[in-house]
Amino acid sequence: MSNPFERVGDGMETGMNPFGLASDGARGRRTPSAEEFSNPFEGGGASSSAAAASEEIELPTPGNNAYAGVDARSTFGAYDVGSGGGVGAAGRNAAASVPTPGGSAFGGGSAFGGAGVSSSALAAQQRDLERREAEVVRRERDLEVRERNVRGSGAGGQTYNWPFKCWAIAYHNIAAEIPQEHKRCVQMCYLVYCIFVLALLCNFIVVTFRLFADQEFSSFLMAFIYTVCGIPGAYYLWYRRVYNSCKSNRAFGFLWFFLMFMVHISFVVFASVSPPGLFGAEQMSLCGIMNFKQAMERDKVFGYMHAVVMSMFMLDACLAVICIRLVYTSFRGGGHTMEQARAEAYQEGIRAAATSGAFRGPGAV
- Give the count of domains, the chain: 2
- 58 by DSSP, 3-state: which? coil
Q: Is residue 170 part of a domain?
A: no
* Strands of 126-186, DSSP E: 162-163, 168-170
Q: Same structural domain for residues 220 and 335? A: yes
Asked if residue 209 is part of any domain, the answer here is: yes
Do 181 and 77 fall within a single domain? no
pLDDT in tens, 64-122: 444 444 454 444 444 444 444 444 444 444 444 444 444 444 444 444 444 455 888 89
pLDDT for position 302: 87
* Residue 75 burial (CB count, 10 A): 7
The 10s digit of each residue's pLDDT in 284-320 is: 789 999 888 888 888 888 899 999 999 999 999 999 9
Task: Report the distance separating Cα 165 and Cα 7, nearest Å.
Answer: 129
Low-confidence ranges of the chain (pLDDT < 70): 1-117, 149-157, 278-282, 356-365
What letter would DSSP give residue 181? G
Same domain, 73 and 216: no
Decide if 276 contacts 291 (C-beta within 8 A).
yes
Q: Residues 347, 227: one domain?
A: yes
Of 57, 81, 96, the residue at which a domain comes to its end is 96
Neighbours of 44 (CB within 10 A): 8
133: in domain: no
193 and 83 belong to one structural domain: no
Q: Is 159 left (phi over 0), alpha (psi -120 to 50) or beta?
A: beta
Using the 3D structure, point to which of 44, 78, 96 is the last residue of a domain.
96
Q: Name the residue among 246, 229, 230 with its Cα closest to residue 187.
A: 246
Q: What is the pLDDT of residue 217?
A: 86
Q: Cα separation of 95 and 90, whole Å?
A: 9
For residues 345 and 232, membership in a common domain is answered with yes
Question: Could you tell me the residue range of the domain that residue 329 belongs to?
Answer: 177-351
Residues 84 and 185 in one domain: no
Is residue 104, in this structure, part of any structural domain at all? no
Structural domain ending residue among the three candidates 52, 79, 96: 96
Question: Is 143 inside a domain boundary?
Answer: no
pTM: 0.57
- The secondary structure of residue 168, as a DSSP letter, is E
**Residue 169 domain-assigned?**
no
- Three-state helix/strand/coil letters over 97-112: CCCCCCCCCCCECCCC
Cβ 308 vs Cβ 283: under 8 Å: no
Amino acid occupying residue 12: M
- 162-163 vs 168-170, strand pairing mode: antiparallel
Distance CA(105)–CA(253), nearest Å, equals 84
| In a domain? residue 268 | yes
Is there a contact between 317 and 268 (Cβ–Cβ < 8 Å)?
Answer: yes
Q: What is the pLDDT of residue 178?
A: 92
Whole-number pLDDT of residue 89: 46
User: Which among 321, 331, 314 is positioned nearest to 249, based on CA atoms?
Assistant: 331
pLDDT of residue 239: 96
* Residue 165: inside a domain: no
Q: How far is it, in rounded angstroms, from Cα 239 to Cα 230?
A: 12
Residues 200 and 301 in one domain: yes
- Are both 338 and 230 inside the same structural domain? yes
- What pLDDT does residue 285 have? 87
Q: Would you state the pLDDT for residue 359?
A: 44
